[in-house]
């Protein structure tokens, strides 16, 4: 099944793109297209993609919207370009494990009613060491609301039971939920909690994402933003409404990309 891999990137993260590109070339599942969406000035990103050879691959589709809008909007612009039935997010500074796409596609194929699939994330440390993390939820079907309940119960820290950055989505679910949430540093969290409130998912008992730890990543930066609590309230209230609605089922399959 065809997968559109979405990567939002801005100039400071261009240096990491060759590693993301290498991880895509190492995938055992070959039916993928890489939708690179450039946020802000494009030239440095394009130069890196040309230098590593990604720009010469017909599976790599590069686009820039010309302004600086942040990760959520940038991913949603890329989502508007996507046509495959499955969408895999890969942040510009992260990498996929070699079997990631195959495992995630297999999980969604085996569970037609599930809207998303996710695996374990391993921290990729600056020295190359991969650090595993135990998850508080068992592998298998993630029943509707399970992730949301775990996240809500872990107040005030609100730690996520799975890593949201490496989720594979059914495109129809992404569209139904409005794409990535327009939140400050919580765009992945907002989307995952809405998805958990709306439908079942699948957790794979295997690593699928290498989450790079480095000093420039957004989660390591100090911020004066004071709306975090209100954002959490928004995510919880929206999820509560979604749980009152019939479960999302969507389509178990969609037409594959047409050539041309």
**Closest C-alpha to 27, from 138, 111, 102, 88:** 102
pLDDT of residue 257: 43
pLDDT of residue 217: 59
pLDDT of residue 260: 34
**Closest C-alpha to 209, from 12, 42, 27:** 27
- 10 Å CB burial of residue 121 (0-12, 13-18, 19+) is buried
State how far the Cα of 135 lies from the Cα of 114, in Å rounded to an integer: 20
pLDDT of residue 154: 86
Helix (H/G/I), strand (E/B), else coil: 37: strand
pLDDT of residue 252: 38
The list of the chain residues with pLDDT below 70 reads: 216-223, 225, 227, 251-260
pLDDT of residue 221: 47
**Closest C-alpha to 155, from 228, 239, 74:** 228
pLDDT of residue 250: 78
Q: Give the tens place of pLDDT for each residue, 188-229.
A: 999 999 999 999 999 999 999 999 987 765 554 445 767 678
State how far the Cα of 129 lies from the Cα of 133, in Å rounded to an integer: 13
- The phi and psi torsions of 106 (rounded to 5 degrees) equal -60, -40
Partners of residue 124 on adjacent β-strands: 130, 212
């Amino acid at each position: 099944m065809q997968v559109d891999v979405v990567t939002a990137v801005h100039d400071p993260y261009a240096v990491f793109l060759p590693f993301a590109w290498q991880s895509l070339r190492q995938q055992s599942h070959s039916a993928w297209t890489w939708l690179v969406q450039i946020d802000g000035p494009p030239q440095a990103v394009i130069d890196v993609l040309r230098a590593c050879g990604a720009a010469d691959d017909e599976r790599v589709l590069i686009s820039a919207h010309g302004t600086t809008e942040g990760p959520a909007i940038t991913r949603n612009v890329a989502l508007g370009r996507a046509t495959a039935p499955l969408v895999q997010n890969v942040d510009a500074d992260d990498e996929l494990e070699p079997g990631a796409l195959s495992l995630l596609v297999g999980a969604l194929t085996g569970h037609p009613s599930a809207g998303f699939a996710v695996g374990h994330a391993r921290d990729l440390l600056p020295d190359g060491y991969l650090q595993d993390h135990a998850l508080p939820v068992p592998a298998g079907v993630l029943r509707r609301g399970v992730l949301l309940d775990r996240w809500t119960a872990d107040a005030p820290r609100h730690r996520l039971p799975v890593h949201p950055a490496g989720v594979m989505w059914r495109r129809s679910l992404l569209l139904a939920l409005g794409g990535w949430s327009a939140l400050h540093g919580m765009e992945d969290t907002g989307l995952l909690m809405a998805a958990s409130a709306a439908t079942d998912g699948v957790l794979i008992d295997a690593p699928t994402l290498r989450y790079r730890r480095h000093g420039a990543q957004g989660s390591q930066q100090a911020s004066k933003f004071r709306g975090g609590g209100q954002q959490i309230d928004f995510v919880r209230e929206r999820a509560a409404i979604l749980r009152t609605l019939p479960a999302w089922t969507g389509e178990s399959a969609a037409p594959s990309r047409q050539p041309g």
